[in-house]
Amino acid sequence: MKIALFAGDGIGPEIMDQARRVLDALNLPGLVVWEGDVGGAAYRRHGHPLPEETLEMARAADGVLFGAVGDPECDNLERHLRPEQAILGLRSNLGLFANLRPAKMFAGLENMSALRPEIARQIDVLIVRELNGDVYFGEKAMRTLDDGRRQGYDVMSYAEDEVRRIAHVAFRAAQGRKGMLCSVDKANVLETSQLWRDVVVETASDYPDVELTHMYIDNAAMQMVKDPGQFDVVVTGNLFGDILSDQASMCVGSIGLLASAALGERQTDFGTFGMYEPIHGSAPDIAGQGKANPMAMILSLAMLLRHSLGRENDAVRIERAVAKALEDGVLGGDLGGNAGTVEIGDAVLARM
């Protein structure tokens, strides 16, 4: 079993250290762990946010654990050299098109939600976000029009096979949950969304046991705070999924708790190759202070064990330990508590 760890920028290294401790505690036989550079840290060392050797390391691994990238000092670099390109480059080069972003209320945190506790308690949603297409990867540029005005543009598009493969992932996920799938688009305005909707409807005929609904993104954003309990699995495009998943994270209390998986088609000896990361960013304002909550990072490790290494029992063991720590009141600053990064790591280890 080969795992690559890419800690990245800001709080990435300190939260990755805690995930590493948890991984070491499992004592997996025959496990090989590599470390690679990404983001601003990689730019400083190699002149590029996603060096070739990092990409090769990812290709050779069964799974990648990714910390965070983003560094204010790099914000004025040309776009292709900015830290965010590491994550976009890994997603596209490795064909990681299916992003699973679960958001579930942890017992004891109902009062941390931005929503009223009785509404927050209902949240148990899996957002399946397409990750290789949409306006993120379409033609984009800045140009000067004939009359001298500057214009920026980004082309939004989806081809039918791109929609179909993510739809299959979402339908199958719904089959393993409550059997409800809500496809989110903007088909009242966008052609891209009309095709999305048509293909999702076509794909539905393979899954008669799943109840399919459709929602426009603006309404979905509203419903996510009005009545999030109505959602089981949500499938949506890259841009809408980016926004909706941050929103869902606030409904459960903190973005510091949410893990994600980016999966492709490649099978490893133990499962599906994937990259796993907290959905929060590099939080440069608190980097290096030992304050960051490593729980989302640790929960990302659990997802890696489940999907890429076929170790469901270890994944559950970690998830239970995190849930128990929260229940016992081990709260990071993001949850109004004062437990530090290492302390939270200790608390999770103790409960494993």
Residues labelled as active-site residues = 136, 186, 218, 242, 246
> Closer to Mg ion at the Cβ: 101 or 311?
101
Query: What are the C-alpha distances in Å from 206 to residues 81, 82, 99, 184?
Result: 43, 42, 21, 19
Name the residue with tokens 């598009």.
Answer: 157
DSSP character at residue 76: T
Q: State the Cα–Cα distance between residues 325 and 219, nearest whole angstrom.
A: 35
Element of type H or E holding 320: helix 312-327
**Nearest approach, Cβ of 79 to ligand IPM (angstroms)?**
11
Residue 242 found at the interface with ligand IPM (CB under 6 A): yes
The per-residue DSSP string of 198-227 comes to HHHHHHHTT-TTSEEEEEEHHHHHHHHHH-
21-29, 84-92, 194-202, 344-352 -> range binding ligand IPM (CB under 6 A) = 84-92
Which 3 state secondary structure label does DSSP give 164? helix
217 binds, among ligand IPM, Mg ion, none (CB under 5 to 8 A by kind): none
37 binds, among Mg ion, ligand IPM, none (CB under 5 to 8 A by kind): none
Tokens describing residue 270:
């133990």
**Nearest approach, Cβ of 241 to Mg ion (angstroms)?**
9
Q: State the Cα–Cα distance between residues 84 and 74, nearest whole angstrom.
A: 10
Residue 84 found at the interface with ligand IPM (CB under 6 A): yes
Residue 110 found at the interface with ligand IPM (CB under 6 A): no
Beta-carbon count within 10 A of 56 CB: 12
199 binds, among Mg ion, ligand IPM, none (CB under 5 to 8 A by kind): none
25-33, 83-91, 118-126, 320-328 -> range binding ligand IPM (CB under 6 A) = 83-91
> Closer to ligand IPM at the Cβ: 74 or 339?
74
**Nearest approach, Cβ of 211 to ligand IPM (angstroms)?**
28
Site residues for Mg ion, 156-195, by CB under 5 A, read none
> Closer to Mg ion at the Cβ: 43 or 136?
136
Residue 185 found at the interface with ligand IPM (CB under 6 A): no
Strands (E), 89-207: 98-104, 124-130, 140-144, 150-154, 180-185
> Closer to ligand IPM at the Cβ: 38 or 88?
88
Q: Name the residue whose CB lies closest to Mg ion.
A: 242
Name the residue with tokens 């089981």.
Answer: 232
> Closer to ligand IPM at the Cβ: 279 or 331?
279
Smallest CA-to-CA distance from 299 within 258, 267, 347 is with 258
Tell me the sheet residues that pair with 8.
68
Name the residue with tokens 């990361």.
Answer: 277
87 binds, among ligand IPM, Mg ion, none (CB under 5 to 8 A by kind): ligand IPM
Smallest CA-to-CA distance from 264 within 58, 124, 57 is with 58
Beta-carbon count within 10 A of 224 CB: 25
> Closer to ligand IPM at the Cβ: 7 or 212?
7
Residue 242 found at the interface with Mg ion (CB under 5 A): yes
Residue 87 found at the interface with ligand IPM (CB under 6 A): yes
Smallest CA-to-CA distance from 19 within 53, 59, 63, 60 is with 63
Beta-carbon count within 10 A of 269 CB: 9
> Closer to ligand IPM at the Cβ: 187 or 258?
258
Residue 130 found at the interface with ligand IPM (CB under 6 A): no
Considering CB under 6 A, how many residues would be counted as binding ligand IPM? 5
Residue 314 found at the interface with Mg ion (CB under 5 A): no
Q: State the Cα–Cα distance between residues 7 and 36, nearest whole angstrom.
A: 8
Q: Name the residue whose CB lies closest to ligand IPM.
A: 84
Site string for ligand IPM, 261-280 (x = CB under 6 A): ------------------x-
| Interface with ligand IPM (CB under 6 A) | 84, 87-88, 242, 279
| Interface with Mg ion (CB under 5 A) | 242
